[in-house]
Amino acid sequence: MKKTVLGLIALVLIGNLSFGQNKTTIESSVTLEEYENADTSIQRMVDLVNSGFGSLKGITLNGNPNSNYEATVLFSLDSKIKSSNSLILAVNETSEDFKSKGSCVACGIRTGIACYNKIKDFMEANHLTEIELHVTMGSDGCGHVSW
């Protein structure tokens, strides 16, 4: 009985104490109103890119700089193509073959939705149904997206 009580006390203490754990706040790159007013393809793009931003921000929790990491979002206007609506987080090894055709920064009020609209406009102007987005966190703490 004594071992059980001591075991429970230890479990409660360990469960409630955060030894060396850091925390971060993850914020959306768009407001709730902008998200709700966006069409479903923009909403999916926001979800994927926000996930990339959140993942990159989470890497810094244990003191690792995230400058060596990049999130790649494979985005398709067709929501049924699962492999093209995905997020890959890896050490930044962007190949020399990648030539950016555009970029934007999601940082602050209205810049996020403007960024996503710019991407969608680029896709429409070039008759694209799929696009590869490279997501990084700048030293300014803002999300940078290139395609």
With respect to residue 1, please indicate whether it lies within any of the assigned structural domains: no
Q: What sign does the CA torsion over 106, 111, 113, 116 have?
A: negative
- Considering the domain boundaries, does residue 77 fall inside one? yes
Q: Which two tokens stand for residue 121?
A: 């406009």
Q: Which amino acid is at 71?
A: A
pLDDT at 108: 72
Write the pLDDT tens digit of every residue in 28-75.
Answer: 788 889 999 999 999 999 999 999 988 888 887 777 655 678 899 999
pLDDT (0 to 100) of residue 132: 94
Tell me which residue range forms the domain holding 97: 25-146
Domains in the chain, number: 1
In a domain, 9, yes or no: no
Q: Identify the weakest region by mean pLDDT among 67-76, 87-96, 103-112.
A: 87-96
Q: Residue 52: exposed, middle, or buried by beta-carbon count in 10 A (0-12, 13-18, 19+)?
A: buried
Max Cα distance, the chain (Å): 72
Residue 6, domain member (yes or no): no
Residue 2 in domain: no
12 domain-assigned: no
User: Quick check: is 13 in a domain?
Assistant: no
Query: What pTM does this model have?
Result: 0.76
Rg (CA), the chain: 20
pLDDT at 5 over 50: no
131 or 59, which is more confident? 131
- Please indicate, yes or no, if residue 123 is contained in any of the structural domains: yes
Q: What is the tens place of the pLDDT at every residue in 24-40?
A: 666 778 888 999 999 99
